[in-house]
A and B are shown apart, each in its own frame.
Chain A
Amino acid sequence: MAKLIIEIIHPLRFLREYRTFDAPQIRIGRGYDNDLILGDPHVSPAHLVVRNEEGGWVVEDIGGENGMYVRKFSKVAERARLDSGDEIIIGRTRLRFFSPEHPVAATKLLVPAHPFFQRIEKPVNAWSILLVCAMIFTAHVYMTSIEDVSILKLASGSLGFLFAAFAWAGAWAFIGRMIQHKTQFAAQLSLVLLFLVAGLMSVNVSEYAGYSFNSVVVEIMFAAALLGVLGTAFLAGNMTLATNVSLRKRIAVCSSIFLGIIAILTLLYYSFKDEFNPNPMYFSTLKPPFAKVLPDRSIDRFLTETAGIFDFPDKIKKPAAN
């Protein structure tokens, strides 16, 4: 007598329970006289009979009210031969049938978190990162202010960054709680803070690069490259902490998010590029003297080299003669 294992699957696709049967005939339905009793109101009181026939299993619909779907044929059937691993749907319930010999996947070994994540999860490190980042944000606010303001005002100016970091880390901690059953808020927060600091630095570096090389294109390229790489790395870090997704998928998801953002911005740029703007959109970044690396042009050379600003595509329409 062969054993039969029935897996009951929740409509949301997660496993509810396994039952093992060791009988020639198994009756399945909502009635209390069944071998497998289902709570699904769409299942008939006596719905299925599974019989061992000629060394194999056969399933038969005896209820007839809502029918039986064999997953592999995806159509209503009255009677079907079962292979191990087949799925049958009655009402809203899915049942999967296995023989005891059905192969199983290799054991997933528990992998300890990367030492970096272990480190930033430690409260002392997380607090230090928070403190250092708050100081950097405050310094940033100080550098952009042009008034004589107190340190308290400066610190409160940096609160925006901290709030953003807390909100972002909170969201990922929640996801981690749901998926991994581990919150790891401190690690998530440290990660976001480090990202914000690095992002702030990349924006500054890009501005200096654009200014030094006289080109808004250089600035945008720098910003896109730095923020893209940083963003991908940190988002992948958030996902590592909060989900079970494999490394390859993590990188794929995160980089496609950033490539998508770049694609959307490019699209927007090109769709609004030809909109009429009465004012010049000039590249007005100015940085202190230390940022100047390229040599000066002479006035004459400048005027010769920039004469291209007077070149316009010749697409002026000729009005119809009248």
Chain B
Amino acid sequence: MKREKFISGKFLLLVGVLGIAAALSAAAAGAQSMTDEAQSIYESSHPSVVQIQVIDLATGKKTSIGSGFQFTPEGHMATNFHVVAEAVHSPQRFRVESVRHDGVTDPVDVLDIDVIHDLAVIRGHESQPTYLPLGRPDLSKGTRIFSMGNPFDLGMSIVEGIYNGLMEDSLYKKILFSGSINPGMSGGPALNKAGEVIGINVSTAGNEVSFLVPVEHLAQLRARVPAAPDPLGMPGTRWKKRIGEQLTENQDQYVKRLLEPDWNTLEVGEAKVPGELLNVFKCWGKSEDKEKDLYNYAYINCSTSDTIFLSPGFSTGSIVYKYFWLASKGLNPVQFYNLYENHFRVPNPYENAGEEDVTNFNCDNDFVDIGGRDTKVLWCARQYKKFPGLYDINLSLALVDRNDRGLLAEVVALGISKANAIEFARKFLKEIQWQSSSLK
């Protein structure tokens, strides 16, 4: 149907037609043996894979969907935390159901969660005999693996793709899966050829760039799940405490890892500043020096690709820092500082949280001696309303002892404790050095 539509399109480019034709023929030639493999894996696995629905109690309709799978004989099922997050936060407004391959709907309880790795262990009321065994994640890059789930509520599907190892620039290593994971497949299993679970579908960056949670995190979470669930279920306040504990513990470990090693440095203008603190940080840079402009600049932005999903519109866990070196080519000091101030004025946009989740920022500022030179340092913090020991912070500084050049730096850390924020800021500020050679 789709192909006919394409070809009958009036404005279809020739290149497009050729491209599609080439792709189709290649797929047809190479896919025969693999298709059989996928077919047999689907046949043996699909009774263990379910669709997860979050039902709004007020309307009785589903508000979000995902996938899940049974992985123990006792009936434990796994899915993503983000699939069931609403029901975890507001159990009085939502309930979770699984829909099995035979269409049977079964209400499920959330037994435990791991917000850091976006996992949840759930269990239905009726147990089933079939389950998917957890495998070992010792695959080599290029191995063909299979992901199952129910994309867009269209029906249970299996997707072939390539295992591409663990993501390098991430604190919470995920498996890079070159295959299409689409909304609704979250929480579904990724299987090796033996039909063992090696990962859990979690997210996609589009164009066959998808991510899986390595299966060992599920095994760790399973080990923590109590044998008998709380007969009253877990009320929202206790989940909140649990999430708070996980976040606090995680940022403690994270900041400890950050503070331990000697940091490598970057050069921006006359400044030597912290570079890629751990191998999980990636820095990008840009500079401009236009003929007609009376100034030039260099810009470096470092960040990790990690965010921890907490609820729709609320995520945390990332650290970003950026540098901006600005030098004048003929502006007088007052003009230069107007320009400099305009760049300083715009903070990193905070889009990770809303009014229910965080307070407004508190800020303070002062002149600080950094590496023997005068800087203006501002810093701001806002508290997480549901997790009061955690803060989002912003540390911004501007070198202010030269008439014609300056360095702006900004550090953004999300979901960090006060003590860790202060220690991180201390180390960060103390690491900044200046190359004296070019000083007057």
Contacts and interface: CB of A to CB of B under 8 A. Distances in A.
Interface of A: 142-148, 211, 214, 274, 276-290, 292, 294-300, 302-303, 305-312, 314, 316, 319, 321-322
Nearest to A310: B418
Interface string B405-425: 010000000000010011001
6 contacts: A281-B360, A292-B374, A299-B426, A309-B381, A316-B385, A316-B386
B38 interface: no
B334 A288 contact: yes
B126 interface: no
Nearest to A278: B350
Interface in B352-383: 353-355, 358-370, 374-383
Contacts of B331: 146
B3 interface: no
B323 to A, nearest CB: 16
B363 A281 contact: yes
A289 to B, nearest CB: 5
Interface stretch (B25-33, B133-141, B341-349): B341-349
Contacts of B92: 322
Interface residues of B, number: 72
B369 A280 contact: no
Given A278-B350, A309-B381, A316-B388, A299 B429 contact: yes
A288 B403 contact: yes
Contacts of B380: 280, 282, 309
Contacts of A309: 362-364, 379-381
A195 to B, nearest CB: 23
Contacts of B374: 289, 292, 296
B316 interface: no
Contacts of B349: 278-279
A289 B400 contact: yes
Given A278-B350, A280-B347, A311-B362, A146 B335 contact: yes
B365 A143 contact: no
Contact of B367 (A214, A278, A290): A214
B16 interface: no
A302 B394 contact: no
A321 B359 CA distance: 23
A186 to B, nearest CB: 33
B295 interface: yes
Nearest to B369: A296
A289 B402 contact: yes
The 10 closest A-B pairs by CB, nearest first: A296-B369, A280-B361, A276-B355, A280-B380, A288-B333, A306-B364, A286-B341, A309-B362, A284-B345, A310-B418
Contacts of A300: 426
A14 to B, nearest CB: 55
Contacts of B42: none
Given A143-B335, A286-B341, A312 B362 contact: yes
Contacts of A147: 293-294
Contacts of A296: 367-369, 374-375
A295 B340 CA distance: 22
A279 B366 contact: no
Given A282-B394, A289-B400, 8 more contacts: A146-B338, A274-B360, A277-B361, A280-B350, A288-B403, A289-B401, A296-B368, A297-B366
Given A144-B335, A322-B236, A283 B365 contact: yes
B335 to A, nearest CB: 6
A288 B295 CA distance: 16
A55 to B, nearest CB: 81
B430 interface: yes
B394 A284 contact: no
B337 A286 contact: yes
B325 interface: no
Contacts of A312: 359, 362, 383, 388
Contacts of A281: 360-361, 363
Contacts of A282: 347, 361, 363, 365, 378, 380, 394, 396
Nearest to A277: B360
B94 interface: no
A310 B391 contact: yes
A283 B368 contact: no
Contacts of B155: none
B316 to A, nearest CB: 14
B429 A143 contact: no
A225 B339 CA distance: 28
A297 B386 CA distance: 34
Interface in B289-344: 292-295, 330-341, 344
B229 interface: no
A274 B334 CA distance: 34
B368 A298 contact: yes
Nearest to B402: A289
A321 B235 contact: yes
A283 B366 CA distance: 10
Contact of B237 (A274, A287, A298, A321): A321
A38 to B, nearest CB: 69
A310 B381 contact: yes
A77 to B, nearest CB: 68
Interface in B10-59: none
Nearest to B386: A316
A308 B381 CA distance: 10
A61 B182 CA distance: 97
A126 to B, nearest CB: 30
Contacts of B332: 143
Contacts of A145: 335
A296 B349 CA distance: 29
A276 B385 CA distance: 13
Contact of A284 (B334, B378, B403): B378
Nearest to B404: A288
B262 interface: no
A233 B237 CA distance: 61
Contacts of A308: 362, 364
Contacts of A319: 236-237
B394 A307 contact: no
A144, A297, A312 — which one has the most chain B CB atoms within 10 A of its CB? A312
B388 to A, nearest CB: 6
Contacts of B351: 278
Interface string B157-196: 0000000000000000000000000000000000000000
A214 B379 CA distance: 12
B88 interface: no
B91 interface: yes
A312 B362 CA distance: 8
Given A146-B338, A285-B341, A294 B333 contact: no
Contacts of B422: 303, 307
A321 B233 CA distance: 13
